């Protein structure tokens, strides 16, 4: 069961986790929540741009890949776009499985792929100007964990 949402509105982490807690075969649910952090010179807001159409396709492909790699009962990806304030939630993933190993691995896999393969771009706006957030070499390197297998 894959659930993918791309939206400007906030989401309810507790309710999303509960959606995955169905039946009595799911022993483990892992969630990750990403939030807007402040920057050195005081963030006014973050503007999250995305590529409508491709975003949904990319998230679905990443989700299907996770479902094929681990025995998951379900997974959820919610990613916001638009204007976000410091401390706002940006996105979440949640994974459900019989055991903790699969749930943890799959959540981490989803995050590693979302960071570098989902078409979102972050712009940080502070009183001194604005900057597009650079992609990180560490994030690109993190993907290698999953391809060397």
Partner 1 sequence: MKVQVLYFAWLRERIGEGRETVETEAATIADLVEELRAREPRYALAFSDMKAVRAALDQELVPLDTRLNGAREVAFFPPMTGG
Q: Which does 118 bind (CB under 5 to 8 A by kind): partner 1, its own copies, none?
A: partner 1
Compose the 86-105 pattern: x for residues touching its own copies by CB under 8 A, - for all others: xx-x--------x-x--xx-
78 binds its own copies (CB under 8 A): no
How far apart, in whole angstroms, are the C-alpha atoms of residue 57 and residue 64? Answer: 10
CA-CA distance, 75 to 29, in Å (whole number)?
9
Q: Which is nearer to its own copies, 50 or 108 (CB)?
A: 108
What is the rounded distance in angstroms from the CA atom of residue 92 to the CA atom of residue 106?
13
Q: How many residues bind partner 1 (CB under 8 A)?
A: 28
Residues contacting 100, CB < 8 A, separation 6+: 27, 28, 30
Identify the helix (H) or strand (E) that includes residue 138.
Answer: helix 137-142
Q: How many of the chain's residues bind its own copies (CB under 8 A)?
A: 34
Residue 36 is a binding residue for partner 1 (CB under 8 A): no
Q: Is 117 in the site for partner 1 (CB under 8 A)?
A: yes
Least separation in angstroms between CB 135 and partner 1:
4
- Count Cβ atoms within 10 A of the Cβ of residue 97 and give its class: 0-12 exposed, 13-18 middle, 19 or more buried: buried
Interface residues toward its own copies, by CB under 8 A = 12-15, 17-18, 21, 23-38, 43, 86-87, 89, 98, 100, 103-104, 107-108, 111
């Amino acid at each position: 069961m894959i659930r993918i949402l791309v939206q400007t509105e906030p989401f309810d982490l507790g309710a999303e986790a509960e959606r995955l807690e169905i039946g009595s075969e799911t022993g483990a649910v892992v969630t990750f929540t990403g939030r807007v952090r402040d920057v050195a010179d005081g963030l006014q807001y973050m503007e999250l741009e995305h590529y409508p159409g491709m975003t949904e396709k990319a998230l679905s492909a990443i989700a299907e890949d996770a479902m094929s790699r681990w025995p998951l009962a379900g997974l959820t990806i919610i990613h916001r776009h638009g204007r976000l304030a410091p401390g706002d939630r940006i996105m979440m993933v949640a994974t459900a499985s019989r055991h903790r190993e699969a749930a943890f691995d799959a959540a981490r896999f989803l995050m590693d792929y979302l960071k570098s393969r989902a078409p979102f771009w972050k712009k940080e706006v502070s009183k001194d100007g604005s900057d597009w957030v650079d992609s990180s070499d560490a994030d690109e390197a993190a993907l290698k964990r999953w391809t060397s297998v």
